[in-house]
Structure 1
């Protein structure tokens, strides 16, 4: 499964061999030959360093396109169509999302053997953070504010979208555990459909671990459970946005990558944005310097300029932040254990991501960030 010639982002912020082989020119030509609106591929311009799938930019006679390939165990055709239906809704609502191409059968989720492909038009704007890892702060509060405004616009556009929940737990950002009255029991109820996660958890005292993660959150659960359901992006990091330029006043021009999207709620997406952009998780040994409070507050302020949040919303956002990652962390455990068979990565997802991130919020830097968010209310 591993292609040692293609390097992707690792869990430690390093570059590692890819789990999924890079797309080849032969593969790309065969795929694009089945899309009437695109002529033959000329050249692969760039391979994405993201690790959970394979993707590239391809120059064709009909323009440059972005091709992403998933293994069917990660995304079936039906599961990918769920993302595409949400994208179509948001485009109809006026959100700046790249166009999806369909093949000769009218399918945007193109199943070819063990692989499932999607082809997007090249996004408008500058892909300013395309080499950035997911937990690296942007460094510019003005960009965070712009990202916050666009996130609020996306939530306005998502209103009224009533599709069922995603058909998979694998590598999607769902919120069932953070809204459950008993998260341990909620996970237990899911396990009959998640055999890979069951197999991993046999070696863990997962009930006590999960109870400990959620213990400080219990007082907020009723308010979280009452949040209005909304389909959300799920991975709101600056690297999933294109920009009008590289200046401080750059605006978001295109929203990318709906792979983690699911039916959750608006504050869940905003908390995820803070978790992705405002904390340098790979540099926690720097103490308070790893926390970018200005980025967190700019995200919130930008969001509030478009979609109001009252004082109780902002306090609930702070209460949610220490556990917003839990559902997705478990999906990563399942992915690494059951799909890529990477025992080390599965342990990192469980110990460092699932448990470690929650514990960090009880440290002085973590508490200072939560206090600053509450103070901004």
Structure 2
């Protein structure tokens, strides 16, 4: 559970419970049935559920009768930290507090919520717990972290690439001069070593050039039909993988043109789709590999704290093995790759190009299903 104590707040909703003890004893609090948030009343000692309103039943997928037989730790597997906060309320350290949490339940997706825990002065054996679904808040925080980290990484990589570039040219030139100065007898014996130095210098030069690529060319903006971009990428990938791979289309033909750099968008999508195809090697060998390109229009999308009335929602979905757990959170970092022969730059460059269009890339992955989502705002 990820908790963030935001400090004490006065909890106005606790006041209706000033005469609530008889209702708590009967297990009913009708006044909260129409409350526009998930409401749970818990016994402070055992954390048994004394009351749940209809929204709580809906969110938890449990009836009021079922909940009445359960305690907080029976519902969620990671209840300890929130339990400590409730204990602090019970000890009267503050009247109320609010915090962010990701609640985990067996067989269900994690549930991000904003929780408000209130001290009930007239019902000292109970606390009031309100839960608000909090996906937008967590997503905004995640976007900010990704954006800040990406900016730091890009600056670091640019500085590092420039520092490598100059001495690399000197190393290659010195190896060429050394090979030229060798006499015929020495050249036959030592040329193999000078060629290793030259070839490795060339390989590193190519790597440095790719690191600097997004910053070398001007951003050429025009009207872009995203389906033309998708078809171009689809043709390239099918030419690279002519057998065993199917690339499906699920296009929304109502998607309007967007303002952007067509070549950058092609490269960004190409890197993502190629990455998916390379992860599907086993499925391609079996003839079961599938990638789907899906376009939709998203409404009222917030990207980097800016609200866009309309945005392109482009998804690349594959049926591959999924992204390894140990790199999933770092998949867009430079030089991070799930393949031994990967450079770890394809997704980094894709993210850079998308961010240059004020967009966002996210990924969800599990075995058999990996889904990259690209959000690009349309011009107002």
Q: TM-score range by the shorter chain?
A: under 0.3
Structure 1 or 2: more strand by fraction:
2
Bigger radius of gyration: 2
What TM-score comes out, normalization by structure 1 length? Answer: 0.23
Which of 1 and 2 has higher RCO (CA within 8 Å, sep 6+)? 1
What TM-score comes out, normalization by structure 2 length? Answer: 0.23
